[in-house]
Amino acid sequence: MLFDFKEIPGKECYKLLVSTVTPRPIAWVVSQDAKGLLNAAPFSFFNVFSGDPAVVAIGIGNRKPGQAKDSRANIRETGEFVVNLVAESNAEAMNITGIEFDSSVDELEQAGLTVAPSVRVKPPRIAESPVAMECELMQIVDLGESGLVLGRVLAMHVRDEFVLDAAKYYIDTPGLKLLGRMHGRGWYARTSDLFDMPRIPVSEWKMKTAASGSAVKSSR
């Protein structure tokens, strides 16, 4: 069935996107305003888009029409934020920080989370998260009632037990047990069901297709 996005309301376009583009990694963003008031919130319109420079992007909507969510307002105001990744053990706390609290409420405190100091930016990181990326704002691209936040990663914290070889930058990715966002309002996915499928070198593919072609000819 064809869904023509020019013909259907934006709310329904959103529903189709979040029901099909899955699983999505979760940016658990810690930010603070100019007065130092902290905010934490999860966003699943998120990914990494460049390795050098290291760039992450997060789509952050509005709290209500014309009013940006606290995370986007804080990032625009201070130019700094921390992206924490969400492990299975963080699920309940992450969900609490997604509650639409008033701006004066500290979501980290409500969720019983511990903050740890950052080294390159002012906002702290979440100590319970296995991975945290300190970021500085590069640009916010306005997208109607949403904004695409582009941030340069200045530093990354990975808990020691998940670093296999620091000299080679090898990380125990399966051990992180990160969560992915799925469809609907409350569905998530674990990343523990994995399979290995190495990429195919072009030389190997050419040899395979050549051998296959020879086999077809010899069978005629």
Whether 220 is in a domain gets the answer no
Whether 141 is in a domain gets the answer yes
Whether 3 is in a domain gets the answer no
Walking along the chain (220 residues) 10 residues at a time, the average pLDDT comes out as 96 95 97 95 97 97 88 97 98 97 93 98 98 98 94 98 98 97 94 93 91 67
- What pLDDT shows up at residue 63? 87
Token digits of residue 77:
């105001």
Whether 111 is in a domain gets the answer yes
- What pLDDT shows up at residue 130? 98
For residue 123, the enclosing domain spans 10-195
Whether 161 is in a domain gets the answer yes
- What pLDDT shows up at residue 215? 61
Whether 101 is in a domain gets the answer yes
Of 18, 25, 59, the C-alpha closest to 173 is 25
Whether 137 is in a domain gets the answer yes
pTM attached to this predicted model: 0.91
Domain count, the chain: 1
- What pLDDT shows up at residue 144? 87
CB within 8 Å of 123: residues ≥ 6 apart = 30, 31, 32, 38, 78, 80, 81, 82
CATH at residue 107: 2.30.110.10
